[in-house]
Amino acid sequence: GQGVEQPAKLMSVEGTFARVNCTYSTSGFNGLSWYQQREGQAPVFLSYVVLDGLKDSGHFSTFLSRSNGYSYLLLTELQIKDSASYLCAVRDGNTGKLTFGDGTVLTVKP
Amino acid sequence: EAGVTQSPRYAVLQEGQAVSFWCDPISGHDTLYWYQQPRDQGPQLLVYFRDEAVIDNSQLPSDRFSAVRPKGTNSTLKIQSAKQGDTATYLCASSSGTNERLFFGHGTKLSVL
């Protein structure tokens, strides 16, 4: 089967950074995506990674370690509006299914 | 470019009633997903299509749920006899080819009393 785990909550301070962790298990890994979901709204795509290492996309960076089944989303220079749920999703290359974690609710305080 | 459109926005039912959700994906997107998202949880895949074909419906409760995409464009998800446990937001998403980016509709928030 496939499992995606994320911590439920994370708190950080405006102007600093936050790291949202994701661990996964799958029989046929074929990429990992991150989505942002604000309260009452639809998920919005942020990033996709399939190779190991750090992918820098400015405000958001994404790290992947396939051997450890681990990824993180790094948000820098946090703003209050970055407060949202961040969802990790893993693609199974055998079934094609995209499985989401339950999300990490990030609260950015002044 | 128009986004993914879903209707209705909200639905309130008594247990045992039926309801249908409609989704219009982004034009040209061949892959369409239906996800169920209970409150404070992540989206859980119910079914997904490539064109008109069902690729995976293993998580769809087949005794009460059904989904179709007859022309490979719009899709309908139906719950035949709703239960309180079906209370959730139903999200439709679409994507194109091998592009991993999913575009989500705003969802239908279902409450079953």
- The number of beta carbons lying within 10 Å of the beta carbon of residue B103 is 20
Closest Cα partner for A98 from B27, B22, B33?
B33
What is the average pLDDT across A67-79? 96
Residues in B touching A95 (Cβ below 8 Å): 56
- Contact yes or no for A99/A92 (Cβ under 8 A): yes
Name residues of chain B where pLDDT drops below 70.
1
Q: Do B56 and A98 touch (CB under 8 A)?
A: no
Report pLDDT for A76.
Answer: 95
Three-state DSSP state, B6: strand
Helices and strands of chain B, counted as H and E runs: 0, 11
**Both tokens of residue B9?**
């926005």
| Closest C-alpha among B86, B68, B87, B64 to residue B77 | B68
Residues A13-45: pLDDT tens digits? 999 999 999 999 988 899 999 999 999 899 999
3-class DSSP state for residue A61? strand
Q: Which helix (H) or strand (E) holds B68?
A: strand B65-68
CA distance B49 to B57: 9
CB A56 within 8 A of CB A75: no
Whole-angstrom distance, CA of residue A64 vs CA of residue B80: 42
Residues of chain B with Cβ-Cβ distance to A5 below 8 Å are none
- Determine the distance in angstroms separating the CA of B52 from the nearest CA of chain A, rounded to an integer: 16
**Structure-block tokens of residue A92:** 């199974």
Structure tokens at A42: 């639809």
pLDDT band at A1 (very low <50, low <70, confident <90, very high): low
Q: Give the pLDDT band of residue A85 (cuts 50, 70, 90).
A: very high
Give the C-alpha separation, A30 to B98, whole Å: 11
d(CA B82, CA A80): 39
Amino acid A95: pLDDT = 85
Q: What pLDDT, on a 0 to 100 scale, did the predictor assign at position A2?
A: 64
Q: List CB contacts (< 8 A) between A42 and chain B.
A: 91, 104-107
Mutate to test the interface with A, among B100, B101, B104, B108 (most CBs of A within 10 A): B100
With a pLDDT cut of 70, the percent of chain A lying above it is: 98
Residues 6+ apart with CB under 8 A from A49: A31, A32, A33, A55, A62, A63, A64, A71
Q: Residue A75: pLDDT band by 50, 70, 90 thresholds?
A: very high
Q: A35, exposed or middle or buried, with CB in 10 Å at 0-12, 13-18, 19+? A: buried
Closest chain B CA to residue A38: B106
Residue in chain A closest to B100 (alpha carbons) equals A48
Across chain A, what does the average pLDDT equal?
94
Do B106 and A41 count as a contact with CB atoms less than 8 A apart? yes
Query: Which chain A residues have any C-beta within 8 angstroms of a chain B C-beta?
Result: 4, 31, 33, 35, 41-45, 48, 87, 91, 95-103
Integer Cα distance of B4 and A93 in angstroms: 25
Instruction: At A100, list the tokens.
Output: 């989401």
